[in-house]
Structure 1
Amino acid sequence: MAFSSETLFSVLNDLHSSSNAWAIKARVVRLYKQPSFANKNELGSVEMVIHDQEGVRIHVTMRPNIYEKFKKILFEGDVYMIKNFFVIENRNSWRTTNNVQKLAFFRTSVMAPYDAAFPRHMYNITPLDQLQHDQDIDVSLLRDVMGRVISYQKPFEGLKSKRMDFRIQDADNNQMSCTLWAEYIDDLLPILEENTDKPVVVCIQFARVLKFATEVKVSNTFHVTKVTVNEESDVFMEFMNRLTVNDNGVFNKMLTNTNYTIYEEFTKGKARVRTISYLKELMDDEHYWIDATVVDIENARDLWYSACKRCVRKLVTEPGTKSCVNCSEENPIDNPKFKLQVMVFDKTCNARLLLWNKACELLIGKSAAQLKGVYGECSDAIPKEIEDAVMDKRVLFEINLSTYKNVQGVACYTVSRCAYDDEIMGLYTKMYNGTQGSTSDDHGILTENSNSSPDVMDKNVKKNDKGKRKLFIDEDDEEDDAGDAVDEQEKCTEFHEVSAADLGNNAAGKTTNAAEKTSDAASAISPSDAVYTSKRRLIKKEK
């Protein structure tokens, strides 16, 4: 694999597919292994990103048997002389470079020379404001982003994977929301938890750009993304030197962990409580609280699922084997977890919520393993322990709007946290409900002095107000908090919502017996009174 001193090196921009007798000198920016599509436990290929002396990048792919020849000498950051390779069209769905070509090794020769003078371009940072304001941004091109972490939330474990949301800010005060999944969290979280008193600068290399209606975010892409934190390199030092400092030499905005306890959130005024009807019209990625009552449990046959005790994901074994497909654990131990789908109502509207294990255990007071030990597999009958603990219970639910799904006209959100104990409810009533008597403003926002409990909301809001109500005005309304996780592939079961008029018509023909028994209920349910129906019960407005 030796090169003669007469070898002429081409630059990447000169390469074309009509020849394979090329020789280049390049530095490895990224080297990663790609699992096989047929079996993710097998190596499918080894991929690289390299750059030449002009800083031009190109993607490289090689089969596992080719990589075997070079694996002892190929490392990220090193410079190599590479000879004999194919130049082919780059058709990757997610592109690591903007080069329309890529290289494929076959009878390729690789040699690692000592070249201290060769340029080093390990990062290709895209400014945050460019990502936010470029309307025609190519989301298939993976980007490098860098910023100081200014807020974060501890990981949330969903059914498929673990997720952590955080927010970064650059030296020009531009901000962006970021999400890391699974093992990528381990590259950042330990440093965040240990360094809340000094800047934590992170670079997410080859991040995927996600465009929403009102926001652009970035997330890792499995295998190719690399997370680097507080690296002692020129790029990181230059960024640190540009950060704004105050007169005392202290950074203006210190890192904050947005994972307040529920108690702290309500005592410090950080909790943003809104009505369901108001939230349905929002298009952001924020988290809010709702004060709602559970009126139905919808997934009787799917109240708990089998999870692998090692990786905590849904337990699925390889066909013909007894190993977990997610972590390859042999003979994995079944660790049942709750998954509860409920319908809630808050006097303005109804919504479907999805509660995972932690929230369910808080409400039910028992583990899924305990109930599965008593009842076995789920059936059409809801266990008494669950029905007694959940049905008709008034709860404060924290939800994130990024988890919204529209299922037959009914909102579906994932719950990240919940509270119903007397202490939290007392704080909520004291801090945010105030005294009775105030009315809502033109936007349906209840003032701080209004009482927004279910018993008084109808008294405080005009009859022709269709929603758009908030329970209180939060001074920190513009504060950006990262979202909580959701398994985006989880499907909600079918639910039919009946209009108030239809309910009124149906009730008119079906309430004769009720009228005979109760004179006060002679009219039973009128169109103006009927606001929600589920498979089991009907809720009427309080008079």
Structure 2
Amino acid sequence: MKWVQRVPAVTVPPRDFHLRRKVINNNKKPTFLSELSSTADDWKIKVRVSRIWDTLNIYRNKELISTDMVLIDEKSDDIHASIGKNVAHRFKNILKEGKIYTITNFMVTKNKEKLPVVEKNTLMLQFDATTLVKEIANDDCIIPHHVFEFVNFEDLPNQYGKDVLTNVIGVMTKLGSNEEKTTPQGRVDTVTLHLKDIRGNNVRVTIWDDYVKVFEQKMKESRSNASKPKVVILTSTKVKEFQCEISISTSRSTQIYVNIDILESNELIQSFKDPGEIHKVATSEITKSPVLDMDKKKTISEILEIATTKSDLICNFYCCAATINDILLKNGWFYVSCPHCKRKVSNTSTKFKCDACHKNVDYPTTRFRLELDVRDATNSTIFVVFDDIAEQIAHVKLHDWCIEAKILTGSNIGAKVLIPRIVLTKNDSKWHFILRRKQFPIKVCYTMAINKSQGQSLNYVGLYLPRPVFNHGQLYVAVSRVTSPTGLKILIVEQDDTDAQYTKNIVYNEVFNELPQCNYS
């Protein structure tokens, strides 16, 4: 018997398939963005590049994913346009923010369902190697420079948990210092600021990584009028919730503007009622951590005298040269603290309470703390250091004694937490002493390949799919190992390391075609 494998016929496009797109008549009248559709490919548009940025993959050494833009036409309609990384270099020196262009030979596709840049438009544009861009030298100012769809601060809780990007505008009322934070990609700069909208609502904003330098540059450019309030606009931000508070963080598509001339910005300046607070923040700058002045150098005896007499309390930063005799660990090396005041919280059977803030703490944080026995030529005392300084003094990462984890479910998805070892005691033992064990409060779970899981019956299964399955029936085997649907969790990761909600199921139709036909009549 001879087996013959049937291969379905596949039509292969010619090499110049992408070059055979219809040539656009240059005399053709431009089409408005609201009239575009995916049913044709001979469109011609006249638009202004409102904003342009490079979308980078932070998980792969900031590799270029695409160059993206927001385009605006004469009707003030906007649309998201994207240029793939393979052809982005063709347009790098052509497309400039604020310029007007006529664009032809582009594809009109469906807008992204997850994290769309322009949410109100159901379509987006894709540029390729055949796309033609021509700059219009005469700017008649008919096309606006910016179009924003702002979200009120009071509506931000409704944006949390959704796959949307949010545009916000507000007067800056507080500006923090430049701090370094540890992420899975290494240490990055962050800046925290507070914005107030036209209704008087406040929100906390965190600017991450390269956007810190962009924000610093925008602040320098707006320094010419120091008495004017700093109206900050952030586009395509992510709404997050941490410790029961709504906040905003920059995303890979965020653009930052300070005091640009638009109607919303001017109305916000006129409505602000506290010019003194405005002036204080408007003239401030982003600062690094405090730099110690060598003129403030003190001996241990002088520091103890200041602490005893409570003199010179205006300046509480000093420089002291001393020798560390010992690191004292009798009081532990960490404590559970309040995220607001950093004080130690008291633990009851069901909740944490901060006595300094006089309120319950739902999500306390772990703070590292070391007591140092130090001495100089004048005296000796105990210095207490915290967090990063404690790691530098001990010459080790204190994370070696705790677990850094990422929350995958619940109301704090994506938050990083530190799990320290805790003391466990057992009173109902048969021994004449109390057994105390210090260990991590976690349970061990095991992993196995899908093929190895055949025949297993498990109560809880977590299915990790960094890529779709590749064999017939493989997905069915994986999801059918669990005895109840409530015990099944699936994590699907796309190529850009973002979470997805769908995956492919591989089915060979030939298997079913060869089955004999059964007649149950």
| 2:131 corresponds to 1:101 | no
Residues 159, 239 of structure 2: 8 Å contact kept: no
Higher strand share: 2
- For 1:510, the equivalent position in structure 2 comes to 432
C-alpha displacement at 1:533, in angstroms?
Answer: 6.4
Q: Which of 156, 159, 166 is the matching residue for 2:179?
A: 156
Pick from 3, 11, 34 the counterpart of residue 13 of structure 1. Answer: 34
| TM-score of the pair, normalised by structure 1 | 0.50
Please give the secondary structure, in 2, of the residue aligned with 1:237.
helix
Letter in 2 for 1:124: F
* 2:105 maps to 1:84: yes
Alignment partner of 1:492 is 2:419? yes
- Matched ranges for 1:121-136 at <5 A: 121-132=145-156, 135=158
Consecutive unaligned residues of structure 2, counting only runs of 5 or more, are 1-22, 291-306, 315-334, 347-353, 373-382, 409-413, 440-521
CA distance in structure 2 between the aligned counterparts of 1:38 and 1:281, rounded to whole angstroms: 31
Give, in whole Å, the separation in 2 of the partners of 1:281 and 1:209: 25
Cα deviation 1:174-211 (Å, max 9, x = unaligned): 21121111222234458499899752221112212224
What are the superposed Cα offsets for residues 363-388 of structure 1, whole Å, 9 maximum, x if unpaired? Answer: 5998756755xxx99999x9xxxxxx
Task: Find the aligned partners of 2:388 and 2:28 in 1 and give their Cα distance.
Answer: 73
Change in 2 beyond 3 A, CA 1:497/1:55: farther
After superposition, the Cα gap between the structure-2 partners of 1:377 and 1:14, relative to the gap in structure 1 and judged at 3 Å, is closer
**Matching residue's letter, 1:219:** S
The equivalent position to 1:219 in structure 2, one of 222, 227, 249, is: 249
Quickly say closer, same or farther: Cα 1:207–1:153, change in 2 above 3 A: same
Q: Write the distance in 1 (CA, Å) between the matches of 2:366 and 2:98.
A: 47
Q: In the alignment, residue 229 of structure 1 is paired with which amino acid? A: V
Q: Could you say if the C-alpha distance between residues 4 and 15 of structure 1 is closer, same or farther in structure 2, counting changes exceeding 3 Å?
A: closer
Aligned-partner SS, 1:164: strand
Out of 142, 149, 152, the residue aligned to residue 118 of structure 1 is: 142
Alignment map for 1:12-411 (pairs within 5 Å): 12-35=33-56, 39-91=60-112, 93-98=114-119, 99-106=121-128, 107-113=130-136, 114-132=138-156, 135=158, 139-160=162-183, 161-188=188-215, 191=219, 199-211=229-241, 214-222=244-252, 224-232=253-261, 235-244=264-273, 254-255=280-281, 287-291=340-344, 353-355=366-368, 362=385, 372=395
The number of residues matched between the two structures is 337
Distance of 1:358 and 1:20 partners within structure 2: 70
Q: CA deviation at 1:103?
A: 0.9
> Take 2:432 and 2:71, find their aligned partners in 1: how far apart are those partners?
74
Contact 1:85 1:103 in 2 (8 A): yes
Contact 1:128–1:175 at 8 Å: present in 2 too?
no
Distance 1:109 1:361 in 2: 64
Cα contact 2:51–2:71 (8 A) shared by 1: yes
CA-atom RMSD, angstroms? Answer: 5.2
Alpha-carbon distance between aligned partners in 2 of 1:494 and 1:196, rounded to the nearest angstrom: 51
SS in 1 for 2:237: strand
CA gap of 1:87–1:8, structure 2 versus 1, over 3 A, is same
Between the two proteins, what is the percent identity of the paired residues? 19
Deviations 1:469-517 (A, max 9, x none): xxxxxxxxxxxxxxxxxx944652554645xxx54x45x9524xxxxxx
Letter in 2 for 1:226: Q
Q: Quick one: distance in 2 between partners of 1:379 and 1:213?
A: 22
1:8, 1:23 within 8 Å by CA — same for their partners in 2? yes
2:337–2:345: 8 Å Cα contact kept in structure 1? no
Deviation at residue 93 of structure 1 after TM alignment: 3.1
* Contact 2:173–2:278 (8 Å) recurs in 1: no
User: Residue deviations 1:280-310, cap 9 Å, x none?
Assistant: 999xxx61232479xxxxxxxxxxxxxxxxx
What's 1:535 paired with?
438
Structure 1 runs not aligned, ≥5 long: 269-278, 294-344, 383-402, 408-486, 512-524, 526-531, 537-543
1:443-458 equivalence runs, <5 A:
none
What are the within-5 Å matches in structure 2 for residues 463-502 of structure 1?
A: 488-489=415-416, 491-493=418-420, 495=422, 497-498=424-425, 502=426
Distance 1:147 1:363, change over 3 A: closer
1:34-83 per-residue CA deviation (whole Å, 9 max, x = no partner) reads 23688445433211111222222221111345333332221112111111
The aligned amino acid for 1:199 is: P
Structure having the higher Rg: 2
Q: Is the partner of 1:225 in helix, strand or coil? A: coil
What is the identity, as a one-letter code, of the residue corresponding to 2:281? Answer: L
Q: Which amino acid aligns with 2:248?
A: V
Change (3 A) 1:62 1:189: closer
Instruction: Give 1:120 shift.
Output: 0.9
Instruction: Assess if the C-alpha contact under 8 Å between 1:79 and 1:112 holds in 2.
Output: yes
Q: CA deviation at 1:230?
A: 2.7
Provide the C-alpha distance between the structure 1 equivalents of 2:80 and 2:69, rounded to a whole number of angstroms: 6
Contact 1:25 1:82 in 2 (8 A): yes
Higher RCO (CA-CA < 8 Å; seq separation 6+)? 1
Equivalent position SS for 1:239: helix
